[in-house]
Structure 1
């Protein structure tokens, strides 16, 4: 046999040995995303960034993504999930309408060998992974920022969110647990902002009429409603805690004297869920803990380093970089995880 023939044979053998592994590494997975509600900006952005994240970066060509929207009822989502299970996908991602009512259906999917990841609104069924923002960390860092702004002394208003909502109670408790460490910070008023600009502005305005002095406001919503209430009352601006809506970031960046920190429940939770599903399918390795916390970045008008959570990242609010005047006000920031580039235009669907 000639030297050329030997080289050709060796190359063929090497290609044969490497072929299955290489093919497996580039396998395309069929993944469904089941969403029970599209009636707000966050859910629509969540779907858009999911679709973008499988077209670029490390997931490009790896995922055949199908998004199934259903009516906002538990039964509608159960019916849809049963149809999805019959399609035998590799994975199902679920933004759930109930943390318990979907459990029997989720269990059926797991029994069929389907990887199930619940995200945002997560399920209790142990066979499914639960991927969500760290709701303990978020209010703690923001209350710490407020205490630092006030040098440990002052009077504050605290938003109670939406009456009866578990996340509202968790956020309020998170704020108060930190503020209790500062005996010279006094909560002088509460209101229910209901995660909407109107109730937030009205609630703060009512408290301003009753309290001649306030040094800080901790909202569970936009924060920009609180700033507008201060301006309308002719009161000096005070430090404000809010969440990372684009309108709020723009307001904080453009309002002279504004001091803000914004917590994030990133819409790219969907992208993180897709990435996790692909990692599990590629490697066969399952995370040690079914409950996975996404640590979204904070946004602030000036650099801030948390002592309670030293690994917390705070991005500075800057027009054109982390705040986008030409993009929809309801856009949730930050827009993109670190492993794929999702632009403001991508997230807005423009």
Structure 2
């Protein structure tokens, strides 16, 4: 057994031991008990787990904080009894083992951010067959029996590309920063953008750059491409760290501020705002951390008999030159993702829960823009 296999085996064993310890003092409600009162079913003391590929990134950390806030609210209401997040460390085999252990430990709800679009399907279908409510968000599996919450990644790329075409009046050479090659979300975003550029022959992609989603290596990769094509009129980027790398390089090279697309990475938003007076223009969108809350609320609603949509498509927000000040947070770290609040009424609408009094808070705030009215 090689060192990597040993580390994987130890990690699986540790994960399973953690699950046993966590569930030893938790009694699962009788999911088969019949409600003869005629009243709508009510979720009570649900045992909730979140399986994710990794908790090391800033986005995942912010998502966990966001999700924990809603767990606390639902715990106060008696709907959630326990919650645990499980970090698979980018190991799909470990993620499968963690999910299978949650099945054995009779979790009521499993939320999942899938490390593979297909490899998790069998174990997730096993969970559904065992009576567990399974909701995926962000990175989605392909299984049709799993509820899904996400944004349209193809539309993400298409929206940004449409803006860039308009900003360039339909003509000019551009560089495309597409992120790591072979990842589903990035590939879908680029497919949406490429379809737009194909309709505009005046736009020419002179180089497509793959790089890690990290500012420093992305900046080095872009600097090399920019040196080869110093006359480009714009840059397509579907991700915030990539856009921050592009804009930082443009400023350091010669301050020729061509239009750039991006995401709600605060480092990009702050630099964008600092260069607005010099005429820099951009458009950004977001993969909001509140996808996790919509997923949890969908799971609870389904346990209560609500007919939840099989796929919940969360609209993409737009961060523009006009509303940038409401998102960019000068006093917050670069590696955060500011996002608006999402009112409870909007969550209810997305998950198919009937509107009514007494259904919780007027709005939920996350990130560094807490309390702002939602822009979705």
TM-score after normalising by structure 2: 0.75
- In the other structure, the counterpart of 2:245 is 225
**Counterpart Cα distance in 2 of 1:279 and 1:263:** 28
1:324 equivalent in alignment to 2:366: no
Task: Give the structure with higher Rg (CA).
Answer: 1
- In the other structure, the counterpart of 1:168 is 186
**Counterpart Cα distance in 2 of 1:159 and 1:238:** 14
Shift in alpha-carbon separation, 1:205–1:346, aligned structure 2, 3 A: closer
**Counterpart Cα distance in 1 of 2:121 and 2:230:** 51
The structure, 1 or 2, with the larger RCO (C-alpha pairs under 8 Å, 6+ apart) is 1
- In the other structure, the counterpart of 1:29 is 46
Residue 186 of structure 1 aligns to a residue whose secondary structure is strand
Gaps of 5+ in 2: 1-35, 345-362, 371-376
Contact 1:159–1:172 at 8 Å: present in 2 too?
no
Q: Tell me which of 272, 284, 297 is aligned to 1:275.
A: 297
RMSD: 2.6
1:104 equivalent in alignment to 2:122: yes
- In the other structure, the counterpart of 1:5 is none
- In the other structure, the counterpart of 1:338 is 343
| CA distances 1:187-211 after superposition (whole Å, capped 9, x unpaired) | 2222223222123222332233222
| CA distances 1:170-223 after superposition (whole Å, capped 9, x unpaired) | 222221211222222222222223222123222332233222412111123321
Report the Cα offset of residue 150 of structure 1: 1.3
Contact 1:48–1:346 at 8 Å: present in 2 too?
no
- In the other structure, the counterpart of 1:76 is 94
Report the Cα offset of residue 49 of structure 1: 0.3
**Counterpart Cα distance in 1 of 2:280 and 2:69:** 34
Report the Cα offset of residue 229 of structure 1: 1.2
Describe how 1:46-57 pairs up with structure 2 within 5 A.
46-56=63-73
- In the other structure, the counterpart of 2:284 is 262
Gaps of 5+ in 1: 1-18, 303-315
**Counterpart Cα distance in 2 of 1:153 and 1:58:** 55
1:207 equivalent in alignment to 2:214: no
Describe how 1:93-132 pairs up with structure 2 within 5 A.
93-132=111-150
Describe how 1:233-244 pairs up with structure 2 within 5 A.
233-244=253-264
Contact 1:92–1:117 at 8 Å: present in 2 too?
yes
Residue 118 of structure 1 aligns to a residue whose secondary structure is strand
Report the Cα offset of residue 50 of structure 1: 0.3
Report the Cα offset of residue 142 of structure 1: 0.6
Contact 1:297–1:334 at 8 Å: present in 2 too?
no
Contact 1:117–1:128 at 8 Å: present in 2 too?
yes
Shift in alpha-carbon separation, 1:184–1:199, aligned structure 2, 3 A: same
